Amino acid sequence: MPIPRFSIPPAWFAVFLALTIFAGAETLARGQEFLPLKDAVPSITTTGTARAEVVPDLATISLGVETERVTAAEAASENARAAQAIVAEIKAQGIEPRDIRTVSVTLSPVYDETHDANGRLLKRTLRGYAARNALSVRVRQIEKAGALAQKLMEKGANIFQGVAFDYEQKELKYDALRGEAVRDALRKANSYVNGLGIRLGRVLSVGQPGRYGGEADMSPRALSAQAAAPSVVVPIEPGVQVLMTEIEVTWELAQ
């Protein structure tokens, strides 16, 4: 059986060829659009760093009250009254409601357990129920944090999990540090290219190479509420925090 042949008029063939070339170029362009510019031209990438020490001006106190009673209702009711007294004292000390946060409210059974000499559980007896209300309080007058913590323990707070410090103008400080980090990256890049007889061209990318903004942990360890005497203010020293940022910059290399 003869193979069929198709003939295309010259004018139609020219149109077909033009469309084919256009489609191929468009496909190639789509494939190249995912190639970063810094990988398509000669370039250099450096990472600049900047850091600064700041004195914290915010303190967040983590504390709470735990109440154990025979029944769940008694535990919950008594704990609620104790928590209300603590919150009232916090507000009486001039702390704004926006700086007081309930972290958790829990109620759980409490058991007495008997074990044998090998540590195996022999008997478990329900002793009662424990209700717990945990709070966090942000103190903007950081020098008053210790006295406030002591007053709250005197009011019934029997859980004191420690103090965390922060710096209110942190983002503004980071903005300044990012500028310093970019200048540090530029200094490093120039130190590489100056001896090679080439120069830096346009900036191809700017970004953060990874996690940044780490802070030195200057918070004191959690203290036991029972360990503080009523007449002694809890000593709280904020120390300093180290703010650090890293910026990665890629330049095109020019002759």
Handedness of CA 25, 28, 34, 38 (dihedral sign): negative
With the CA atoms of 178, 180, 182 and 185 taken in that order, what torsion angle do they form, in degrees rounded to the nearest 10? -130
Domain that residue 246 falls in? 37-57+168-255
Along the chain (255 residues), what's the average pLDDT of each consecutive run of 10 residues? 39 41 46 58 92 92 95 96 95 94 96 89 92 95 89 92 90 94 95 87 88 38 38 71 93 86
Q: Which of 133, 166, 199 is the last residue of a domain?
A: 166
Pairing of strands 100-115, 121-139: antiparallel
Q: Is the pTM of this model over 0.75?
A: no
Q: Are residues 137 and 206 in the same domain?
A: no
E strands of the chain, at which residues? 43-54, 58-69, 100-115, 121-139, 159-166, 199-207, 241-254
At 79, which CATH number? 3.30.70.2970
User: In sequence order, which residues have a C-beta less than 8 Å from that of residue 1 and are 6 or more positions away?
Assistant: none
Q: Give me the number of domains the chain comprises.
A: 2
On whether residue 24 sits in a domain, the answer given is: no
Instruction: Say what the pLDDT of residue 221 is.
Output: 34
User: At 110, is the secondary structure helix, strand, or coil?
Assistant: strand
At 233, which CATH number? 3.30.110.170
